[in-house]
Amino acid sequence: MKAEGRGDIEDHEAKESRMRHRVLGGTGIQVSPYCLGTMMFGAVGNTDHDDCARIVHAALDEGINFVDTADMYSAGESETIVGKALKGRRDDVVLATKVHFPMGQGPNQGGNSRRWIVREVENSLRRLGTDWIDLYQVHRPDHTTDIEETLSALTDLVRQGKIRAFGCSTFPADEIVEAYHVADRRGLQRFRTEQPPYSILARGIEKQVLPVARRLGMGVLTWSPLASGFLTGRYRKGRALDLSSGRPTLNPDRFDPAAPRTAAKLDVVEQLVAVADEVGCTLPELAIAFPLAHPAVTSVIIGPRTMEHLRATLKGASVALDDAALDRIDAIVPPGTDVYPPDGAWTPPSLTTPSLRRRAAGARAAV
């Protein structure tokens, strides 16, 4: 057997240091500060299942033990890929997935009802090739379903051993608090985690969501640290934007260089590039280090599409921002502000449904 050299020992110690585990929301489950997100596995990103499996294995070899997916990612294909990749290594991984978005054409093929949750968890277990899910998350709020109904169904799944804990994703602070009190009053288990969007360009959750999560002892795993690619350095002011691959192909309007929001993002990017230069790191390294500096954040989801993306991300895993760097970022994007609304975030029905913010015509006329 080959003796372990000093260089191998130092590499191992470096991995252990940068992937020092954190407790997930008081569950006792230990997770790495980076979580491998798999939204880009499958039809919307990397269609090569073997290559995706290699990315999973490389992430695990680098010390990541936390993997996040969802039933709706590429209509279940992502879960299938993850399940195949974890064969033989399942016990070493904290596996998270999500439920909510439609998975079929019928009116009951999505949402947060007991009917759908107890059915869809079985589909996720089958696709993932596992007997249990460590963290089962409600992907978005559902105002057609009483939160007690949702919590009751999830509590039953914990008691049945099909899931170990459950959480929510992209819930506003008031609904997190409501769910907490309903669980307390009804003797149900509660949301242990929240998964919100968080980046230097989208800091809105610092106002209420992160303080509430911290006060309630919830774990927080954040998504989109690269702001849909704007913090990769790929899109720069005064340069032609490459819209032929990646996120721009999914949402081209969000990358329109003529749009004021796009211009605002590009202006901020130029200032952040200067900060990264001062720190001695790349822009994406700065971006991914930023959410981990918040004391409420447990883990940051990284979502590589290729092995190169994964390696570039992990290369900056040892970057830690000091107060001077964080002060510079605060001066560019003040705490609690959004340069743009996070892509894919939830908008409450009170804003999207006119009938919820307009009196009926007859009632208006009677005033």
Per the listing, tokens 């170990």 go with 164
Q: How far apart are CA 12 and CA 321, in angstroms?
A: 23
Q: What is the pLDDT of residue 249?
A: 62
Give the pLDDT means over successive 10-residue stretches in the chain (367 positions): 51 62 97 97 96 98 97 98 98 98 95 98 98 98 97 98 98 97 98 98 97 98 94 83 66 78 92 97 95 97 95 88 97 96 85 86 63
Give the number of domains in the chain.
1
- In-domain check, residue 69: yes
Is 1 contained in some domain? no
The pLDDT score that the predictor gives to residue 271 is 97
Taking CA atoms, 148 is separated from 62, 144, 153, 182, 261, in Å, by 40, 12, 9, 6, 38
Short-list 40, 92, 43, 85, CA closest to 66: 92
Burial 213-247 (b: 16+ CB within 10 A, else e): beebebbbbbbbbbbbbbbbbbbeeeeeeeeeebb
Cβ–Cβ < 8 Å for 261, 340: yes
In a domain, 316, yes or no: yes
Domain with 48 in it = 13-366
CA distance 92 to 103: 29
Provide the pLDDT for residue 213. 98
Would you say residue 6 lies in a domain?
A: no
Q: Is residue 7 part of a domain?
A: no
The pLDDT value recorded for residue 4 is 56
Q: Tell me, yes or no, whether 2 lies in a domain.
A: no
Instruction: Please give the pLDDT value at position 148.
Output: 98
Q: Is residue 45 assigned to a domain?
A: yes
Q: Are 161 and 188 in contact (CB under 8 A)?
A: no
Can you give the pTM of this predicted structure? 0.91
* Residues 320 and 228: beta-carbon distance below 8 Å: no
Residue 245: CATH number of its domain: 3.20.20.100
The reported pLDDT for the residue numbered 290 is: 97
In a domain, residue 333? The reply is yes
Q: Would you tell me how many other CB atoms lie within 10 Å of the CB of residue 174?
A: 12
Longest dimension (CA), the chain: 89
pLDDT for position 1: 43
Q: Which residues are catalytic?
A: 73
Give the HSE-up count for residue 39: Cα atoms under 13 Å, Cβ half-sphere: 14
